[in-house]
Structure 1
Amino acid sequence: MSPSRRSPGVAALVATTTALVLVAVSLIAGRVSAPVDAAPGSRSAEAGFARDMQVHHDQAVEMSMIIRDRTEDEEIRLLAYDIATAQARQSGQMFGWLAVWGLPQASPEPAMTWMHRPAPGGGDGHRHAEPVDDPEGAPAVMPGMATREQLDELRADSGIAAERRFLELMIAHHAGGVDMAEAVLDRSTTRAVDDLARSVIASQESEIRLMERLLSER
């Protein structure tokens, strides 16, 4: 069939396909010409953040799943679903970074070591949450993490009591996550890490404001 006799549908398909090919070519060219970040080392802030924030996010997912079973409030259930899906996706992204960087998922040093090293230039300008002790003796070194006892209390609650406990725990948990994201921004030279950290700060600060409102209503 000659170009002049193509049906409108075929012509539209050809035009769309051509446009997609051109977009793909431009993206490939951009990736080839763009500068590439060197892979971080195993003891770098980027690797430490990727490992520790996975643990931090996984607890947020756990708390969100608990409250979805303990409340009938649709606004709380929607918030919990949003937190769980967003943080599970980000946790998978950080797992993928370590794999791409050729680094082990297990840390070669204690958790949060990266956050307690001085930032380049001396001082990071942020006040970070202090570690707290787990009631069973293990140090909960990640800021904002709930203890096992607090998680058990959340599981034992229901209705408004569970909602209040969840909101209190998740506000503190999000604040700790923001601290960690700000700390890695002060220490990272990897664009993907910086982008995710900024996303964590923006989304979790927004959710903190929402949760503070929900808590005040209860």
Structure 2
Amino acid sequence: MTAPGSRQRTATVVLATVAVLLVGVAIGVIARIPLQRHTDAAPGAVDTGFCQDMSVHHAQAVQMAGLEVAGGSDPDVKRLAYDILTTQSNQAGRMQGWLQLWGKPIAAADGYMAWMTEPMSGHDHGTTHPMSGPVATMPGMATPQELEQLRNLTGPAQDTLFLQLMLRHHQGGLSMIDYATTHADTDAVRSLATSMRTTQTGESQLMTQMLTARQATPLPLN
């Protein structure tokens, strides 16, 4: 049987996450206005695919960050989690707003990352070869078992697991971010991907330092 405190904590996380996601969607609707007034290239497969897949990737980051905000013990880690929660909710809202404007579905129906069809340049990180087709799971995503473990932990143990999962999550998304930066047709998507790379690189460096201070090691990329 689930303890009352655990039920209350879970309900708080759900309500907080829903509230932030609603704000993100509202921002996404507002984000449609500049695109309507600005002449930009027509969105291609990369613009659409990136917005669809990165919205899903962001949704899990928001979920994990919400659990850390609710149950973590380290103020610095909780502050980082809150920053990730708000930033990625905002970005997901923008991407979903653009998809609505373009008349595209919110999510791809046949898997992920099939839009990454061109070889990446040597200085890019992550995937260096074109995808041969859609994949069932994007790099860096936490498994259901890992999410359940994060949900059940509290205090310093949760802080450490959150840092490990979120660092891997950031690292896993870099190949998509870098690909969109160089292959997207619209200025809006290229600009957003560039901003994501800057923000997440800084956050990854911080999380690596936090894990080192806790004598914990990063998780291998899945």
> Which TM class, normalised by the smaller chain length?
0.7 to 0.9
Higher relative contact order (CA 8 A, sep 6+): 2
The answer for the alignment partner of 1:73 in structure 2 is 74
Q: How far apart, CA to CA, are the structure 1 residues paired with 2:162 and 2:55? A: 20
Residues 111-154 of structure 1: per-residue CA shift (max 9 Å, x gap): 21112x124xxx43334259xxxxxxxx7521111111111111
Q: Does the 8 A contact of 2:177 with 2:193 survive in 1?
A: yes
Q: Does the 8 A contact of 1:37 with 1:191 survive in 2?
A: yes
2:194 aligned to 189, 195, 198, which one?
Answer: 198
Q: Could you tell me which runs of 5 or more consecutive residues in structure 2 were left unpaired when the two chains were aligned.
A: 1-35, 129-134, 215-222
Identity of aligned residues (%): 41
Q: How far apart, CA to CA, are the structure 2 residues paired with 1:111 and 1:165? A: 26
Alpha carbons of 1:87 and 1:99: their partners in 2 closer, same or farther (altered >3 Å)?
same
TM-superposed deviation, 1:110: 2.4
Amino acid at match of 1:128: G
Q: Does 1:97 align with 2:93?
A: no
The answer for the alignment partner of 2:118 in structure 1 is 118
Q: Could you tell me which runs of 5 or more consecutive residues in structure 1 were left unpaired when the two chains were aligned.
A: 1-30, 131-138
TM-superposed deviation, 1:180: 1.3
Alpha carbons of 1:127 and 1:76: their partners in 2 closer, same or farther (altered >3 Å)?
closer
* Mapping 1:100-179, distance limit 5 Å: 100-115=101-116, 117-119=117-119, 123-125=120-122, 126-128=124-126, 140-179=136-175
TM-score by length of 2: 0.72
Q: How far apart, CA to CA, are the structure 2 residues paired with 1:127 and 1:181? A: 10
The answer for the alignment partner of 2:48 in structure 1 is 47
Q: Does 1:217 align with 2:220?
A: no
Amino acid at match of 1:191: D
Q: How far apart, CA to CA, are the structure 2 residues paired with 1:183 and 1:157? A: 35
TM-superposed deviation, 1:216: 1.4
Q: How far apart, CA to CA, are the structure 1 residues paired with 2:96 and 2:60? A: 15
Q: Does the 8 A contact of 2:126 with 2:174 survive in 1?
A: no
Q: How far apart, CA to CA, are the structure 2 residues paired with 1:140 and 1:160? A: 32
Residues 31-81 of structure 1: per-residue CA shift (max 9 Å, x gap): 97x7x223224xx01100000000000100000011122212211111111
Q: How far apart, CA to CA, are the structure 2 residues paired with 1:124 and 1:190? A: 20
Residues 11-33 of structure 1: per-residue CA shift (max 9 Å, x gap): xxxxxxxxxxxxxxxxxxxx97x
The answer for the alignment partner of 1:28 in structure 2 is none
CA RMSD of aligned residues (A): 2.0
Q: Does the 8 A contact of 1:63 with 1:151 survive in 2?
A: yes
Amino acid at match of 1:37: D
TM-score by length of 1: 0.73
The answer for the alignment partner of 2:40 in structure 1 is 37
Q: How far apart, CA to CA, are the structure 1 residues paired with 2:140 and 2:127? A: 7
Q: Does the 8 A contact of 2:40 with 2:187 survive in 1?
A: yes
Amino acid at match of 2:96: F
Q: Which has the larger radius of gyration?
A: 1
> How many pairs align?
172
Amino acid at match of 1:118: E
Amino acid at match of 1:114: W
Q: How far apart, CA to CA, are the structure 1 residues paired with 2:63 and 2:173? A: 15
